[in-house]
Structures are given as structure tokens and as C-alpha cells.
Amino acid sequence: MTRDCKKKSSPGFFLFFAETLLEAFRVKSNRHVSSMVILRQILFTGYEALPLISFLALAIGGLIILQGTNLLVNFGQGIWVHIILVTVVVNELSGILTALVVVARSGTAISTELGNMKVRREIDLIESFGISPTGYLVVSRIIGVVVAMVVLVIYFNVIAVIGGWLFSRIFNHLEFRAFMNDFLSVLKISHVVSSLIKSIVFGLIISSVSAYHGMSVGHASTEVPQRTIKAVVTSIFAIILSDMLITWLFWVFR
């Protein structure tokens, strides 16, 4: 599949997304979907974000336990603090906060990198080879970001639970086994599935929106920061809306 076999046009986002999905589904036959680009993207989006995600997850998990315990103990309901941990962290915060970190780091990087490549006519160069820029540059990044998002969200949940236990240990002298028993008693498979689905959807949104805005830059370098800002704002809106939609769907079909 070469770039030449498509008519040139300036697609809107949904056409761009459809073309990207089409290229992604042909990933095995697409020689130009670079495994090196995918690995580099996973390294940048996933591995290099671990310190920030670790700090956030530990702090959020701990703070929720701390605030929740303070509040619920007054009513003799301290045990229910684990429900808050599951509901707030596993269901919502892990996906949203990880997505915001990935938007800030990788979304801006993708949009800026592709935008600068457009300005420097590197996209034209790739096209002149007959290689699809969507297949070579966009699909690889989308796969990389989605894989990294899923791993980061799982990692966030694990670290947040550990953070919650650490604070419980410090303030309530709660044993790990007891803490995990309480936590697992309220954790359902639907919570985990919802969290994973959200991470995949958020990864798709961040990478495709950022790539679209990067590829939409014309020939002026001043467009690059403008497009990057649009990528960030659109990604955040889309993430929150899709989060509400997925949560609502799980609530309806629970």
C-alpha cells in the first residue's frame, strides 16, 4: 500500500482518523509501519513518564485514604474508605490523570514533532519516496501511545493502591493483608475492564488528535505552537467527554 494510490486531499479529523485506522489494520502488510518508531514511542510515553506517574499515584492513593479515613471514621465507617479508593482511583483518576500526563508530555511532543516535520518538508520527502506518511509516522505513534497508556494506567492503579496502604499503615497501623482483603472485596472485574477500556480510548484520542494537528500544519513555523495548543485543548475535552460516556455506559449496563 503506497501513498500514491490515494487521491491527495486535505482531510478533516474523521477522514484522517479513518485513514489511520485503515493503515493500522493493515499493519502486518505495511512495511513502513516502523517497529523502531513504535518502540521509541513506548519508551518515551511509557518508560520516561514512570517517575511522574509514580509520584502522582502514590500521592493520590495516599491522600484519598487519608482524607477518606478522616471523614468516615467520624461515622464509624472507616472500612468504606477502600470503596472510595476503588471508585475514585481505579474507575476515574488513574485514567484521567495518566491521560493528562500523556497529553502534556507525548501529545505535545507528537504534535510539535510532526508539525516541524511538515514545515521542514520532511513529510513531502516521505511522500516523494511513495511511502504513506500516515502509515510511517502516525500509525506507529498511535500504537506506541495506546500500548504505553494501558501499561501506565495499570501501573498507576498498582502504585496508588500501594500508596493507599502506606498511608493506612502509617496512620491506622493497617496490615497489608488486611488492607488488600478490604480492597479486593470491593473491587469488581467491571472496574478493571472499565479502567482498561478508558486507557485504550484515551490513548487513541491523545495520539490521533495530536497527530492530526501536527499533520495539519502548513508551511509556517508559527503554526506549530498554535496547532499544539489546539491538540492539547481538544484532547482534554475529548478525554473528559469519552470518560463520561464510558462511565455512563458501564453504569447503564452494570
Partner 1 sequence: MIVTFDQVSTKEGIRELSLSIDLSRVTVLADPTENLSRAILNSMVGLDEIREGEITVDGLPLHDFLCREPQISNFGYVFDEGIMLSNLSLKENLMLPLRWINPNLDEVETEALTQSWLKTFSLKLDMTQRPVAYRPGPLKLLSFVRTLLIAPRVLIIDDPYYILNKKERDVVHNVLWMLKNSYPMLIASIDDDFGAAFADEIIDLSAFEENFVSAASLS
HSE of 175, CA atoms in CB hemisphere, 13 A: 3
Evaluate whether 243 touches 95 at the Cβ level (below 8 Å): yes
Among 19, 63, 105, 122, interactor with partner 1 by CB under 8 A: 122
How far is it, in rounded angstroms, from Cα 124 to Cα 121? 5
Query: Binding pattern to partner 1, positions 8-47, x when CB under 8 A?
Result: xx---------------------xx---------------
- Nearer residue to partner 1 within complex by CB, 105 or 169: 105
| Contact status: 227 vs partner 1 (CB under 8 A) | no
How far is it, in rounded angstroms, from Cα 150 to Cα 207? 13
- Nearer residue to partner 1 within complex by CB, 2 or 222: 2
Q: What is the dihedral of CA 68, 72, 76, 79, to 10 degrees?
A: -40
Among 12, 47, 55, 120, interactor with partner 1 by CB under 8 A: 120
Per CB under 8 A, contacts with partner 1 among 128-147 are: 128-131
Cell readout for 58 is 502514590
| Contact status: 217 vs partner 1 (CB under 8 A) | no
- Chain centroid offset of residue 34 CA: 21
The site for partner 1 (CB under 8 A) is made up of 2-5, 7-9, 31-32, 113, 116-117, 120-122, 124-131
